[in-house]
A and B are shown apart, each in its own frame.
Chain A
Amino acid sequence: MTAQVKAQVDLDHFVAHEYPQVVAAVGLITGNRQDAADAVQDALVGFLSKPPTRPVANVSAWITVVASNRMRDQYRRKDAERRALAKVGIDPESMTDAVHSLDVDVMAALSELPLQQRQVCTLHYLMDQSVDTIADGLGVTPGTVKTQLHRARKALAARLRREDHRG
C-alpha cells in the first residue's frame, strides 16, 4: 500500500452532525428523497473503505457530490417516466400546506440547472458553505465554484422572472 490514509472522518460525528443535511442536500439536488439516504450511505462507505488520496477537509461536500452523481447515473439507466417525475424536484403528495407555491417555482427552476450548478447551489444556499470550502470538498478551484454559482444565479433569476410574468 502506498498511502495508507486513515479514515479522514469521524463516523459518529459525521452521522450525528452532517448526515441529516447531506441527505437533505442530495434529495434536493436529485429530486428524489427516498433514494437520497441510501446513496449517501453508499458514498460514505466508499469514502471510508477507499478514501480519496487527496486530503478532503470538506467531507460533507464530497459525499454530497458523489452521492448525487451516483443517483444521476442510476437514473440514466431507468425509464423516462421515472426521470420525468424526479425532475419536478418535489413529490406533490409530500408537500405540506406550509410550503407555498413559490417553492415549487424555485425547485422547478433549480431542477432545470445542470447537475454541477445544482450541486454548488445546494452546498452554498442550503448548507451555507463558502466558495472556498466548496472548492476544497470538490477538489476544484474557487474560481470554478464561483463561475458555477454565477451561472446558476443568472439562470435562476431569468427563469423566476418568467414565472413572475406568467400570470
Chain B
Amino acid sequence: MVDVDELLRTTLKRVAEPGDPTGVADAIRSRLAAGDTGAPDPQSSGTWWLPWAGAGLVVAVAGGALGASGMLGRPAPVVAETMITVSATTSGLDCPAGSPVTSFAAGDRVLAIARSDDGDFLAVRDGYDYGRTVWLPTRSVALDAVGVDEMPVDGCLQPVVTRESSPERPPAPQPQPEPGPKPKPAPAPGPAPDTTAPTPLQWWADPSTIHCPSNVGPAFPGTTTIHLLASDNVGVASATVAWSGAASGSGSMTASSGEWRFSYTAPATSGAITFTVTARDAAGNASAPRSVPVTVTCLF
C-alpha cells in the first residue's frame, strides 16, 4: 500500500529546488518602472492570463480602459498604450486637472495607458507606486508610439486619495457613507472620503509553537512574534491583536519592516491560543479580522 500523501509530501520537499531571491526585488522594480507588464510578446500565446481555462477562473487586468476582451484566453487586443518621455518638470495629478500627488522630472520615462476625454491629460503608471495611476498634461510629454487620439479614453472615476499631508487638499466635504460595498464616486476633482478598509495579506506566528517559561531553552522558544501584512488604499495606520485562551488579552502591533508585529511570551500552562489581528487605516476603517493559531506546550 502506498501512502501517496506522505510520499508526495516528502518527495516534493526533497526534490524541490528553491529559487535564489538575491536581487530579485530590485530587478522587478526596475522592470515595472520601465513599463514592463510581464506579458509575453504579442506573437506568443496569450492564454497565460487565464490560469485554468474552463475551470471558472477569470483573471482580468485592472483598469477598465484595458478592456474585458483580453481575459478570455485569447491574446489581448493590442492596447494603445505607449511609453512617454516627460519633456518638462511637471506634477502628476490625481485626476485630469486635479491636485498634484507626485512630480516628474524632464526625461522621466513612464507608461501611458489612457487619455482624458479632451485629450489634454494622459493617465500614466506611477513608477514609484505600481498600483497607482496619475495624470499628466499631454503638453508636457512626448509619446513614443501612438498618437494621443489612439489612446483609450478614461476618466477619473475613483480619485486616488493620497498622502494626508498634501497641503493643497481641501477638507473632505462629505460625511462618511455607510460601510459596505463601495459606491462608485461620481467624477469629481476633489478627494472622496476614504471608505476602503485595509486588506490583510498575510498573517502568521513565528514560531507557531512556544514553550512555557519552565521549559524555555535553546530548542524551546518561549516567545513568538505575531506578524500581519496588510495593504490599504491610503495606508495602514495601526494594527491590533487580541487573543483568547487561558489568559486572554490584547495589544497594539508595532510597524516594522513594512509589516506589523507583536511579541508574545508564553504563559505557564499548555494550550491553544488564537490571536486575532486587525488592521486599521487613519479614517478608522477596520480590516476583516484574521486568526493566527499558536500552541503553548509545557513538557515539564
Contact = CB atoms under 8 A, between A and B. Distances in A.
A70 B63 contact: no
B45 A77 contact: yes
B186 interface: no
A74 B12 CA distance: 24
Contacts of A73: 40, 44-45, 47-48
Q: Counting chain A CB atoms within 10 Å of each CB, which of B17, B39, B156 scores highest?
A: B17
B43 to A, nearest CB: 9
Interface in A48-83: 48-55, 57, 59, 62, 65-66, 69-70, 73-74, 76-77
B20 interface: yes
Contacts of B37: 45-46, 49-50
Contacts of B47: 69, 73
B160 interface: yes
A28 B52 contact: no
Contacts of B157: 1-2
A27 B24 CA distance: 17
B28 interface: yes
B169 interface: no
A164 interface: yes
B160 A4 contact: yes
B182 to A, nearest CB: 9
A19 B9 CA distance: 19
Contacts of A110: 8
Contact of A28 (B16, B35, B160): B16
A107 interface: yes
Given A77-B44, A125-B8, A160-B7, A53 B201 contact: no
B233 interface: yes
Contacts of A88: none
A162 B19 CA distance: 33
A45 B142 CA distance: 25
B282 to A, nearest CB: 15
Contacts of B58: 54, 139
Given A24-B16, A50-B61, A70 B56 contact: no
Contact of B15 (A19, A22, A103): A103
Interface in A132-166: 138-141, 144, 153, 156-157, 160-161, 164
B63 A1 contact: yes
Given A44-B28, A103-B14, A49 B130 contact: yes
Nearest to B57: A139
A99 B19 contact: no
B4 A140 contact: no
A12 B170 CA distance: 34
Contacts of B48: 66, 69-70, 73
A107 B15 CA distance: 9
Contacts of B125: 49
B199 A24 contact: no
B66 interface: yes
A131 interface: no
Interface of B: 2, 4-5, 7-9, 11-21, 24-25, 27-29, 31-32, 35-40, 44-45, 47-52, 55-66, 114, 123, 125, 129-133, 154, 156-158, 160, 184, 199-202, 229, 231-233, 258-259
Query: 5 closest Cβ contacts across the A-B interface?
Result: A23-B19, A45-B38, A46-B38, A20-B18, A6-B131
28 contacts: A1-B157, A4-B132, A4-B133, A5-B62, A9-B231, A11-B25, A24-B17, A37-B20, A41-B27, A45-B31, A46-B39, A46-B49, A48-B130, A49-B35, A49-B38, A50-B66, A53-B62, A65-B52, A69-B50, A76-B45, A102-B7, A125-B5, A126-B12, A126-B16, A138-B52, A139-B51, A140-B52, A160-B7
